[in-house]
Chains A and B, each alone.
Chain A
Amino acid sequence: MAGRVFGQPVLRNEDAWLLTGKAEFIDDINLPGMLHAAFYRSDYAHARIKNIDVSAALKRPGVIAVYTAADFSEYWKAGPLQVPPPTAIPDSIFHARTLIPIAKEKVRYSGEPLAVVVAESRYIAEDAFDDIVVDLEPLEAVIDLEKALEPGAPLVHDDLDSNLAAHVIQKHGNWDEAVAQADVVIKKKIVVDRCAGSAIENCGILVDWNDRKREMTIWATTQAPIPYRNSIASRLGLFEDRVQVITPFIGGGFGPKIMNSLPHDVLIPIIAMKLKRPIKWIEDRRENFLSTTSERNQLHYAEIAAKKDGTVLGIKDIFYHNTGAYDPYAMTVPLNTQTHTISNYNIPNYYTEINMVFTNEMVVTPVRGAGRPFGIFVMERMMDFLACELGIDPADIREHNLVNRHQYPVRTGIIGQDFVENVLDSGDFPKALAKVRELIDYDKFVKEEQPRLRSQGKHKGIGIVCFTEGTAVGPYEGARITVGANGKVNVATGISTQGQGHFTVLAQIAAEQLGVEVKDVNVITGDTAQFHWGAGTFASRGATVAGTAVYKAAIKIRSKAISLGSKFLSVPEDQVELKDGRVFVKGEPEKSISLGDIALKANPIRGTFPEGVEPGLEATDYYGPPYGATGAGSVAMIVDVDPETMAVKIERFVITHDAGTLINPMLVEGQIIGGVSMGIGNSFFEKLVYDDNGQLLTASFMDYLLPQATDMPPKIELGHIESPSPLNPLGIKGVGEAGAIPTPACFVQAVENALAECHLQINETPLSPSRLWELVQESMK
């Protein structure tokens, strides 16, 4: 349903500011009298605090204040649970141990703050770290997910009986019956390890407390400005409107910036109030690694039951999910794993059990993919093991079991992250698989090219997998559209933006309805003084949920413009039309009135005003989906493995993707390719490594490797499929996380295939050249 601007590859409104260095990011904002904060962090992952002496630091010239937990008195309390507990799931157990603002009595992860220094400059604040004397008694760290639950294991939270943070069982059908009917049952242990969001801009916050007006302005890099404001206002006992949160341009989000209860989120506003001076804190890269949330550590014991012809009868998956030292984000990540494991295929019997575990590591919250990649990794690996066992082609066994396009909506019986049953709203999974198979010429490669290459001693392999991405979940977003007297349009929403292109796609939605140019629509995201209802940017929902609200508000404005325009032009409504920013009398183009003039006249300053009419050319509306829209697709890749160095080169990468109706195909492709690059990083380059003492061994970009330009395949080839979502009037779906989700599963399959003579069965991700070498050595024993 491409329109004049909706559905078109419109160039972005925001680019010119970003490209010329004029876009304002958090650390570009400076206020008179501003002070700088720095966090003194624990080197130990698990320790009892015996003493912290900051007296020498306070004497250093330029240091204004040094705080420890004791200084925050009544403000020291555990933070909010950012996501509700899974009470919708019967018999679920959940122990909320939310983040604390600053360590008191005990340290629970390496990098947890012990003190905050406020000084005239960041340099001085960090100098003062040398003056702080801490006496910590190290405790045994809880790292291994299974050992953590053994009796007698050291406890992360002393008031709990064990390190079990949550326990959730979900099922449909009957796994035991699946086993009874099965010709084959395969059981595997599968490990998914940690990765970081690694936005190139770290986090930051700047707080200005106006003590005379008792109001606070906060600039922050948050993905969720309204919950951020509400959380801070609540903690400080202020009415929400006394706290204005503004997000400047944000240099990437990828999940961790959704947090509103990390130590800096809590402490910097309190300190600004205490000192009555603006306080800025800008995270550095090491802090981002140590103490901003990360993701992806799970251990699965998965079983698959099937008939000889490859028909899958059931999946059983008991898994351990590492939540880190606290669980402020409740169970979003493991619930996404539960829903996504079975989301592509007809799985009549499913048993899935989460054991969420506290460890002495950084807190786990969503990172692009948010639990979905593990579910897909487990399912796709089990499919591969089954295909191998039965001697069926991996592509064929998938095709055989895929949900087909006549089955929608598919009720999965599994409660998802939005606490309603996960329902697949629409799609065409077989088409996505068939298309990727065709684009990469799968059958020709397997039957002709690969045998020839193998005979030449080459190690080239192919992988092919399917995935879904539950997107655009509730609860809701809103938008207010205002037409100015100058004819320009403002669209204000409650989400914030981190590079997705919301300044353009939301403008396209409004411009299409109002008949104006995209460049004349100014989208305001992330300013609670402009719009103060909504949940934020996460779960691939911004463009879909806020975008639908924009659409609904634009429809209202359109209708009002036509109604008022016809009145001002003195003709019936059915005789006017709206285009090019004006209301015209049909057939008489010389008779028209601009939207700006209508807006002006709709706000009379003398005379009378009709009852029941709202002033101005302005409208607000909201949208909340009943459940999320299902994005989906398939990925195939061809890799070349060097058996000497275990370097893996991705020679071809093809992804077919269904994001429903596309608002802007250029930006959708950008999102997919970007997601794929993160997926490639998660497959072979990036890994957060904690040692047995809870020390993060990869806290720099020298140790934690982000994919570089030379690591990427020559071209990521895309194939679009459009199954419009029936859940919203535009038929749109989310796309932000898509590329990251299937890539590790496909990569591992392709590498296994390339090294076919080793008969590898790889049960883990991420890999690396050294790890691959070890796996090959083990296989030859």
Chain B
Amino acid sequence: MTNLYNIKLIVNGKEYERTVEPRLLLSDFIRHDLGLNGTHVGCEHGICGACTILFDGLAMRSCLMFAVQANGHEIKTVESLGTPNEMHPLQQAFHEKHALQCGYCTPGFLMSLIPFLENQSEPTDDQIREAIDGNICRCTGYQNIIDAVKLAAEKLVVG
């Protein structure tokens, strides 16, 4: 068996201390150890983007990192956004523009888009396409997602 390591990190504003194997994927740690199931796993080789989280504010694929690498860092997952009764403007925009079907890839899209929208208040279609190019959606063909991001940008400006 491998050695175990103690890690301490902040997830969605809450501090956690856990003991983990060094090989434990960050995605598995978030899902299975912390029970934050909103982060999804689609390929486990860094292509589909369903497992995207914010790592110190940057969109990262949690399936390509180990939990031990998150020691001392701050993570945000989809659970840090809104709730069913009070959705984040980006989530609300996805709802209004029918930008999700099965919804499995959606948390990854949202987490890629949060930092993007922080830097882009009036994104163009091409900028949005680039921003979500690392997230694969098999259901929607992306068109409604692009519309949703534009709507979200408007909602966020109005605030």
Residues of chain A at the chain B interface (Cβ within 8 Å):
11-12, 14-25, 27-28, 30, 61, 123, 198-202, 249-254, 284-285, 498-501, 666-667, 669-670, 673-674, 676-678, 700-702, 706, 708-710, 712, 714-716, 739
Contact = CB atoms under 8 A, between A and B. Distances in A.
B132 A709 contact: yes
19 contacts: A16-B87, A19-B87, A20-B81, A20-B91, A21-B37, A199-B138, A200-B105, A201-B102, A202-B42, A249-B103, A251-B102, A499-B102, A670-B101, A673-B143, A677-B138, A702-B47, A709-B132, A709-B142, A712-B129
Given A499-B139, A709-B132, A28 B37 contact: yes
Interface residues of B, number: 61
Contacts of B48: 200, 701, 706
B98 A666 contact: yes
Top-3 shortest CB links A-B = A21-B38, A251-B104, A499-B102
Interface in B70-118: 77-79, 81-85, 87, 91, 94-96, 98, 100-107, 110
B47 A201 contact: no
Interface string B115-159: 000000000010011101111111111111110000000000000
Given A200-B104, A670-B140, 15 more contacts: A18-B102, A18-B103, A19-B100, A25-B40, A27-B31, A200-B42, A200-B50, A200-B102, A252-B101, A498-B102, A666-B98, A670-B98, A678-B138, A701-B47, A706-B138
Contacts of A500: 101
Nearest to B107: A21
Contact of B106 (A19, A250, A715): A19
Contacts of B7: none
Nearest to A499: B102
A27 B41 contact: yes
A589 to B, nearest CB: 32
A201 B94 contact: no
A285 B94 contact: no
A454 to B, nearest CB: 27
A183 B105 CA distance: 54
A25 B37 contact: yes
B143 A20 contact: no
Contact of B84 (A22, A498, A716): A22
Contact of B140 (A23, A674, A702): A674
B45 A702 contact: yes
A676 B77 CA distance: 31
B102 A673 contact: no
A501 B100 CA distance: 10
Nearest to B145: A709
A708 to B, nearest CB: 5
Contacts of B135: 709
Contacts of B129: 709-710, 712
B143 A715 contact: yes
Contact of A501 (B41, B82, B101): B101
Interface of B: 1, 21, 23-24, 31-32, 36-45, 47-48, 50, 77-79, 81-85, 87, 91, 94-96, 98, 100-107, 110, 125, 128-130, 132-146
A18 B125 contact: no
Given A25-B40, A709-B132, A499 B91 contact: no
A331 to B, nearest CB: 27
A674 B78 contact: no
A198 B138 contact: yes
Which of A23, A250, A712 counts the most B-chain CB atoms under 10 A from its CB? A23
B143 A499 contact: no
A14 B101 CA distance: 9
B95 A709 contact: no
| Secondary structure type dominating chain B contacts | loop
Nearest to B39: A21
Interface centre among A17, A201, A501 (most CB of B within 10 A): A201
Contacts of A678: 138
Which residue, of A15, A28, A285, A676, has the highest number of chain B Cβ atoms within 10 A?
A: A15
Contact of B130 (A18, A28, A700, A710): A710
B54 to A, nearest CB: 13
A16 B107 CA distance: 12
A18 B83 CA distance: 10
A251 B143 contact: no
A252 B104 contact: yes
Q: Among the interface residues B43, B79, B102, B129, which one has the most CB atoms of the partner chain A within 10 A?
A: B102
Contacts of A202: 42
B98 A667 contact: yes
Given A20-B91, A21-B79, A677-B141, A708 B44 contact: no
Nearest to A30: B32
Contact of A714 (B32, B81, B102, B125): B125
A290 B35 CA distance: 30
Contacts of B81: 20
A21 B135 CA distance: 16
Contacts of B132: 709
A206 to B, nearest CB: 14
B145 A14 contact: no
Contacts of B139: 252, 499, 670, 674
Contact of A706 (B21, B94, B130, B136): B136
B138 A19 contact: no
A702 B95 CA distance: 30
B102 A20 contact: no
Contacts of B1: 61
A14 B84 CA distance: 10
A700 B45 contact: yes
A677 B140 contact: yes
Contact of B141 (A123, A666, A673, A701): A673
A25 B38 CA distance: 9
Contacts of A254: 138
A27 to B, nearest CB: 7
Contacts of B137: 200
Nearest to B125: A714
Nearest to A62: B1
B23 to A, nearest CB: 7
A123 B101 CA distance: 31
Nearest to B105: A200
B98 to A, nearest CB: 5
Contacts of A670: 98, 101, 139-140, 144
B143 A17 contact: no
A17 B84 contact: yes
A250 B43 CA distance: 16
A252 B146 CA distance: 20
Which of B31, B43, B140 has the most chain A CB atoms closer than 10 A to its own CB?
B43
A285 B96 contact: no
Which of B79, B96, B103, B110: most chain A Cβ within 10 A?
B103
